[in-house]
Amino acid sequence: MKAGGIDSSRIESMLAQMRAAAQRPQTEGIANLAAPIGADKSTGKLDFADALKASLNQVNEVQKSAETLGKNFALGDDSVSLSDVMIAGQKANISFQATIQVRNKLVSAYQDIMSMQI
């Protein structure tokens, strides 16, 4: 059963891997709620600037990793499979889109606060 020269079982396998990878960030985020990024261990307070910076750095690292995998695959590295490249690209896309949504919410909250009467 080939669809356009590609085995359909491999396509189903890649789709299953992508679905599994899409579910991982949600469960990892729940596990990280116990010790939030940027939390001060001595006082238990959360520093917003540190948390935001750490989150942006994490998104940047995911994007760099996806780009490196893509370059290695394009250069013919046999240790990198197409499914790994696609999954890394989707992870980078999802994390970037989530960052965009957080930014939009922050801008909206800022505008709401600035339009309040004193």
DSSP per-residue codes, 77-116:
-TTS-HHHHHHHHHHHHHHHHHHHHHHHHHHHHHHHHHTS
pLDDT for position 46? 77
pLDDT at residue 75 above 90? yes
Pairing mode, strands 6-7 and 2-3 = antiparallel
CA nearest to 90, candidates 19, 7, 2: 19
DSSP 14-51: HHHHHHHHHHHHHHHHHHGGGS-TTB-TTT--B-HHHH
**Structural domain spans, the chain:** 48-116
Question: Which pTM was predicted?
Answer: 0.59
Confidence of residue 86 (pLDDT cuts 50, 70, 90): very high
Q: Is the dihedral of CA 46, 47, 48, 53 positive or negative?
A: negative
Residue type, 46: L
